[in-house]
Amino acid sequence: MAVKRREFLGHMAAGSAILTMPAFLQGCGVQSATAVSQATPENPFMTWFGVNQATAARVMSELTARGADASDLYFQHTRSNSLRLEDGIVSSASSGIQQGVGLRVVIGEQTGYAFTEDLTMPSMLAAARTASAIASGNAVAAPQAFNPLGTGDLYTTTVPWSNVGIDQKLPVLKFVEEKAKAMDPAIEKVAVYWADADERVMIATLDGKLVTDHRPMTRLTVVVTAKRDGEVQTGYSNIAAREEFGWYSEERILKMVKEAVDRTMIQFEAIRPPAGEMPVILASGASGILLHEAIGHGMEADFNRKGTSIYSDMMGKKVAEPFVTVVDQASIPRERGALNYDDEGNKAGRTVMVENGILKSYLHDQISAKQYGLGPTGSGRRESYKYSPMPRMSCTFMEDGPHTKDEIIAAVDHGIICETYTNGQVQIGAGDYTFYVKNGWLVEKGKVTAPIKDVNIIGNGPESLKRITMVANDARLDTGGWTCGKNGQSVPVSQGIPTVLVSNMTVGGENVS
Amino acid sequence: MSADLQNRAAQAVEMAKAAGADDAWATASQGRDVEFEFRDGALEKVKDTTSRSLDIQVYADDRYSNHQTTDLSPERLEDFIAEAVAITRALEPDEHRRITSAELFAGRPSDDLDLVDPTVAEISREQRLKWCESLDRVATDHERVISATAGVYDGTLNSASASSNGFVGSHAQTYCWYGSNITLRDEGDKRASGGWYAGGQHVDALPAPSDVARTGLDRALARLGSEKGPTVKTAMLVDAQVAGSLIGRLLRPASARSVQQGQSFWADLVGTRAFSEKLTIVDDPLIPRGFGSRHFDSEGISAKYLPIVENGVVRNLYVDTYYGRKAGMKPTTGSASNRVIALGNHSLAELLKEVGNGVYVTSWLGGNADSTTGDFSLGLRGHMIENGEIGPPVGEMNVTGNLKDLFGQLELVGNDVYPYSQTLSPSLVFGGVDFSGV
């Protein structure tokens, strides 16, 4: 049946968080054949539902009738599209409309939440009364009018996805397949997955702000299966960004295709490394997964205000060498994790979590910022109108250090280089975290000697930070389509890092004696 | 409720036909969900929602697409469906894309699956608060507790499907879960944490909240003083609660889709003795109160008892209609219902005795497996097993190997099934497994 069975793991795994890559198995949606391209109005709420300032004020007033320190209305309309090419045919498309409004009341650390997909006044007022039940005080003065803030410019597009027809997208998928197949005769199958979405949000807050944001997103994934002497291997690559159709240049696509083919073919020669502790070199780019798991989640202030994070008592202390600076920044144009405003209507910006080795700032939502007596860091995010926001990462990266990649490799007597990843996870309290290495290299006596594959790496966050002994000058953000899951909510994120040496981590491997 | 949804699904099918579809399949769903979260003596979050959606699958000129919307206003729905049909027409033809053959609808069972408890809809705010308080009390009474969050999650799901070739069916179920997550002060900056939840369709079948919280607290206490385990080749005892996820990794590529796409180590295994003879897995959709119980699957195929592995011999794969047609395999079902692992006759204590020395896994942390080759590597936490007893807690370890080989090394199966899952597995013992740690 199409009923989605409720996923309880999200609740049960509270205190742990996961990061995943291979989302291509789920359809994310596509739309619009040329014949019927029905352009979406820029602010569909006003146009389609008659939600204007007065409506928002009326609902807000009902929402705060029993008291509130803060409250917000989060209107969302998302049109998503996806296409799938398998066995040479683009024979499946999906599309979706996700529309609704989330209503939230906050009193101290308490949250009341409701949503409705029926944007009529009676339904919105009923949802407001449900959300307000958490409170039991007197009404607060709700704004009669809201002050519209300027729209951000981090991912402005000239052509929204709703105006791009399947006839334009289809040749891209065919091109990917053709180029991948041509790269190696051992390639038996190529699958290509396309996703795009136009998300529009409008946030009205109790303090009178009105924020609108159009958040485009796209992702292209290629999966390659090759056979050699009866052995089969699969590999993939993908690229994602808050971008428009014109972003998909031939050069960009070919680079992705080559990555997928290289990652697949190298597995025929790759070995599992020996098991145990050893120095680990993290290649620049996607290895930012280390930061996401080892420190990023532990710095989300909801865990710290509850005292459940291993970083709860470390603010202002030295946690790493002076050449280690770790940043979470939403204001990087067009990145998958970029945001003009967070999902509480605060301007999203740049938060330095570790500066020259010193722990500097948590990532806050409104609730934690108020509790710590600080301004918001613009880190309050939510998956959709169905969820209340919490502190989340956006684009997490480490800044350049004083070493070079060659120096780092030369410094390792026996260890590995990690290059591509599928997923990671962290256990917030104990600080243990892992990431799964799909492709990498063995390093012996300062030289790269053999390809490796399929090993999980496990470490402890604060211990790993201390063990970052070298940082190169080649920082870059990964272009892959990462999705972060926490308490059952998924949000798009980006990550990056320069080449880094961690002096000791535990590498999953075989050949244990 | 059901009649309403059934009408909505039927209307959507008509709209698709009117817009030019050859065939269509629609599902209308509605759900109510309530969450209460309670932390350190006070209510922290209340979420109370009613949601709805419409899914439609369109077949036109040998082409296929599927669509979902939460915007059900009639005129926009009509536009949405017309656009869905137009999208379908813009694709490439694929002779294998057909609506489920009506023959597969035949023989639908009518067993009472007992998935609805009408009292769930009547759970009061006071009742939820009472549960929260009693969960909270057990945890916060402990001196080492830094923070404890108790949660109550309950709700109702309803859906109805209709197709242009005569399918009509509906599904309803309720659920109620509660439990807590507990964080304890440990050495230095470290926190030990653990939790436990119990749930089901029926409120009266749930254990007392205080017992649930006690289990959660014990699991957190068991983590105190955890150290990094050794690099060693030894026996692995996987606790019943986390055995299901390992079974899930094993079965992930056991589908016509994975096989047809060349991404499955199960490709040539049907009919062969691929795993230890201790392993028997059945997909059983008709278990009363089962988390995956159903009368028909998402394609309308009537529910049937489906042996996947019998005494190590692979009997069937999950075969949906599309990839089945493409791969020349007879459809079984494309989606798992209840996956039942045949029980052995050892209790957990007996398994520990039999193992003598090894590693007892109580939770996984990250890791992954390659569906094509079966190679896997997983992070874990648990305990050393010393002289047949549960020893000191360990973490920061990986276990690495190949899933096909691992399930060939399945040596013992417990009788202690973990009940709160769609995969009903007991504890499992594997011999000669590679662990990495210190």
**DSSP annotation string for B121-178:** GG--HHHHHHHHHHHHHHHHTSTTEEEEEEEEEEEEEEEEEEETTS-EEEEEEEEEEE
A116 CA: distance to closest CA in chain B (Å): 7
User: A385 - beta bridge partners?
Assistant: none
Fold classification of A12-268 is: PmbA/TldD fold (3.30.2290)
Nearest-CA residue of chain B relative to A119?
B71
Q: Which of A236, A297, A457, A458 to mutate to test the interface with B (most CBs of B within 10 A)?
A: A458
Phi, psi of B377 (to 5 degrees): -155, 125
Contact A512 B436 (CB under 8 A): yes
Is the CB of residue A13 less than 8 Å from the CB of residue A429? no
Q: How far apart are CA B397 and CA B378, in angstroms?
A: 8
pLDDT score of A274 more than 60? yes
Query: Among B31, B146, B181, whose Cβ lies nearest the Cβ of A307?
Result: B146
* Average pLDDT over every residue of A313-332: 97
- For strands B232-238 and B358-369, give the pairing: parallel
* Rounded CA separation B370/B250 (Å): 10
Q: CB B149 to CB A14 under 8 A?
A: yes
Q: Which residues of A touch B157 (CB under 8 A)?
A: 3, 5-6
The whole-model pTM stands at: 0.93
Contact B369, B404 (CB under 8 A): no
Q: Strands A395-398 and A489-497, how do they pair?
A: parallel
Residue B85 CB neighbour total at 10 angstroms: 27
Identify the CA nearest to A494 among candidates A21, A16, A17, A27: A21
What is residue B189's predicted lDDT score, i.e. its pLDDT?
87
Looking at the fold, whether B341 and B249 belong to one and the same domain comes out as yes
CB pair distance less than 8 Å for B193 and A429: yes
Mean pLDDT of B327-348: 97
Which parts of A286-427 are beta strand (E)?
326-329, 350-355, 358-359, 380-381, 390-391, 395-398, 414-427
> Which residue, A242, A223, A253, is CA-closest to A21?
A223
Is the per-residue pLDDT at A179 higher than 80? yes
Per the CB < 8 A criterion, the answer to whether A425 and A19 are in contact is yes
Tokens 């003795």 label which residue? B273
Amino acid identity, residue A412? Answer: V
What tens digit of pLDDT does each residue of A361-397 get?
Answer: 999 999 999 999 998 899 999 999 999 999 999 999 9
Domain count, chain B: 2
Whether residue A6 and residue B175 make contact (CB cut-off 8 A), yes or no, is yes
What is the mean pLDDT of the segment spanning B167-190?
95
pLDDT mean over B220-239? 96
Q: Are A495 and A292 in contact (CB under 8 A)?
A: yes
Q: Do B191 and B253 fall within a single domain?
A: no
Q: How far lies A65's CA from each of A57, A118, A206, B44, B125, in Å? A: 12, 21, 12, 19, 19
Altogether, the residues listed in chain B come to a count of: 438
Residue in A with minimal Cα distance to B420: A8
Is B434 in contact with A117 (Cβ distance < 8 A)? no
pLDDT band at B1 (very low <50, low <70, confident <90, very high): low
The whole-number pLDDT of residue A12 equals 35
For range A481-500, the mean pLDDT: 96
Asked if residue B60 lies in contact with residue B82, where contact means CB atoms within 8 angstroms, the answer is no
Within this chain, do residues B211 and B242 fall inside the same structural domain, yes or no? no
Name every residue whose Cβ is closer than 8 Å to that of residue B315 and which is 6 or more positions away in sequence. B270, B271, B307, B308, B309
Residues A37, A169: contact at Cβ < 8 Å? Answer: no
B396 interface with A at CB cutoff 8 Å? yes
- pLDDT band, very low/low/confident/very high, at B81 (cuts 50, 70, 90): very high
Rounded distance, CA A326 to CA A355, Å? Answer: 7
Q: How many residues does chain A have?
A: 513
Q: What is the CATH number of the domain that holds B89?
A: 3.30.2290.10
Has residue A36 got a pLDDT over 90? no
The 10s digit of each residue's pLDDT in B83-137 is 999 999 999 999 999 999 999 999 999 999 999 999 999 999 999 999 999 999 9
Would you state the pLDDT for residue A6? Answer: 34
In angstroms, the first-to-last Cα distance of chain B is 58
Whether chain A has a CB inside 8 Å of the CB on B395: the answer is yes
Last residue of a domain, which of B176, B201, B221?
Answer: B221
Quick one: CA torsion of B318, B320, B321, B323, rounded to 10 degrees? -90
Q: Do B274 and B398 fall within a single domain? A: yes
pLDDT digits (tens, 9 = 90+) for A45-86: 667 666 888 899 999 999 999 999 999 999 999 999 999 999
Note the pLDDT of residue A23: 34
Distance between B88 CA and the closest CA of chain A, angstroms: 7
A-chain residues near B44 (CB < 8 A): 109-111
Contact yes or no for B437/B394 (Cβ under 8 A):
yes
Are the C-beta atoms of residues A439 and A304 closer than 8 Å to each other? no
Cα dihedral A178, A217, A119, A367 in deg (nearest 10): 150
- Residue B50 forms contact with A (CB below 8 Å): yes
Interface list for A 15-44 with B (CB within 8 A) = 15-16, 18, 27, 29-36, 38
Neighbours of B62 (CB within 10 A): 16
Closest partner CB to A430 (pick from B94, B151, B192): B192
Locate the chain A residue with the closest alpha carbon to B193. Answer: A429
Angle among Cα B188, B190, B191 to the nearest 5 degrees reads 130
Q: Are the Cβ atoms of A456 and B80 closer than 8 angstroms?
A: no
- Residue B162, strand partner residues: B26, B168
| Together in a domain, B86 and B119 | yes
Query: A82-110 burial string, b = 16+ CB within 10 Å, else e?
Result: bbbbbeebbbbbbbbbbbbbbbbbbbebb
Closest chain A C-alpha to B382 CA, distance in angstroms: 13
Chain B residues touching residue A84 (CB < 8 angstroms): none
Q: How far apart are CA B113 and CA A158, in angstroms?
A: 53
> Is B199 in the same domain as B267?
no
Asked if B369 and B429 sit in the same domain, the reply is yes
Residue type, A452: I
Q: What is the mean pLDDT of chain B?
A: 96
Residue B178: strand pairing partners: B152, B198
CB B49 within 8 A of CB B33: yes
Q: Is B366 left (phi over 0), alpha (psi -120 to 50) or beta?
A: left
Q: Residue A34 pLDDT more than 50?
A: no
Q: How far is B92 from chain A (nearest CA, A)?
A: 5
Are B22 and B157 in a shared domain?
A: yes
Output the CA torsion sign for A173, A83, B253, A8.
positive
- The whole-number average pLDDT for the span B417-427 is 97
B135 and B262 fall within a common domain: no
Answer for the pair A12, B307: CB distance below 8 angstroms, yes or no: no
Residue percentage of chain B with pLDDT more than 70: 100
CB contact under 8 A, A3 and B27: yes
Residues B15 and B134 in one domain: yes
Q: Which of B166, B197, B221 is the last residue of a domain?
A: B221
Put simply, whether B197 touches A (Cβ < 8 Å) is yes
10 Å Cβ neighbour count for B29? 23
pLDDT value of position A52: 84
Q: How many helices (H) and strands (E) does chain A have?
A: 11, 23
Q: What is the pLDDT of residue B351?
A: 98
Task: Return d(Cα A426, Cα B366) in angstroms, integer.
Answer: 8
Find residues 242-271 of chain B whose CB sits inside 8 Å of chain A.
261-263, 267
Q: Which two tokens stand for residue B396?
A: 């920061």
Residues B184-228 have pLDDT tens digits of 999 888 899 999 999 999 999 999 999 999 999 999 999 999 999
Q: Determine contact, residues B317/B260, Cβ cutoff 8 Å.
A: no
Complex ipTM = 0.94
* CB within 8 Å: B398 and A428: no
Question: Coil, strand or helix: which one is A275?
Answer: coil
Residues B289 and B381 in one domain: yes
Chain B residues touching A439 at Cβ < 8 A: none
Q: Does B386 touch chain A (CB under 8 A)?
A: no
Give the 3-state secondary structure percentages of chain B, helix then strand then coil, rounded to 5.
25, 40, 35
pLDDT at B139: 85
* Interchain contact, B48 vs A113, CB within 8 Å: yes
Both B169 and B246 in a single domain? no
Distances (CA, A) of A241 to A165, A259, A507, B65: 19, 18, 31, 25
CB contact A466 to B (< 8 Å): no
Across chain A, what does the average pLDDT equal?
90
Q: How much is the pLDDT for B20?
A: 97
A431 and chain B in contact, CB less than 8 A: yes
Domain ranges in chain A? 12-268, 276-507
Closest to A421 in 3D by CA, of A456, A461, A388: A456
Query: Quick check: B183 and A434 CB within 8 A?
Result: no
Residues contacting A185, CB < 8 A, separation 6+: none
- Write out the DSSP string of A11-47: HHTTTEEEEE--GGGS-------GGG--PPPSSHHHH
Interface mutation target, options B39, B47, B320, chain A, most CBs of A under 10 Å? B47
The pLDDT score that the predictor gives to residue A2 is 35
For B191, which residue in chain A has the nearest alpha carbon?
A429
**Which residues constitute the domain of residue B311?**
226-438
CA distance A88 to chain B (A): 10
H or E segment to which residue B134 belongs: helix B125-140
Cβ-contact B338, B422 below 8 angstroms: yes
pLDDT digits (tens, 9 = 90+) for A226-247: 999 999 999 999 999 999 999 9
Asked if A507 and A418 count as a contact pair (C-beta separation under 8 A), the reply is no
